[in-house]
Amino acid sequence: MPIITDEVNRNANAKKYRTPGTACHRRPRNAIYLNPSNTDKHEMKKVEIVWQYIKKKKQVLTEAETKGCMKCGIDIGYDYEYCNCGERLKKLRRDIVVLDTGEIIEIETDKQRGARHHKNITVIYV
């Protein structure tokens, strides 16, 4: 894939996310943000996964907020209130988003909690 297309895909995916607690500030790419509400295992797994993507020259966001459709399992962004399926969008915070592919990765310590995610979302258990 040409470099220009990669950057267009990354930018389009990045526009869906923002820094928690702000109106429009975009998350820096390849920066690892830790959430004190999570367990140590959870956060160390996040660092491990992000490091693997960075070594592959991929760009990621961590702990980024967005709005998404729970029914469709997609993140749409703050510019919209409803999904094309008619569902109202829910405010979400994603553990890791791979900007090159749009892949959403959630790290879970509880199988029951992990089961609530849509099949489009990669769930990694620690």
What burial class does residue 100 get, using C-beta atoms within 10 Å of its C-beta: 0-12 exposed, 13-18 middle, 19+ buried? middle
pLDDT at 88 over 90: yes
Q: How many distinct structural domains can be found in the chain?
A: 1
pLDDT at 1 over 60: no
- The letter for the amino acid at 90 is K
Nearest to 74 by CA among 8, 119, 116: 119
pLDDT in tens, 7-29: 898 999 988 988 776 666 677 89
Q: How far apart (Å, rounded) are the C-alpha atoms in residues 80 and 25?
A: 17
pTM of the model: 0.88
- The letter for the amino acid at 47 is V
Residue numbers of the domain that contains 112: 3-20+27-125
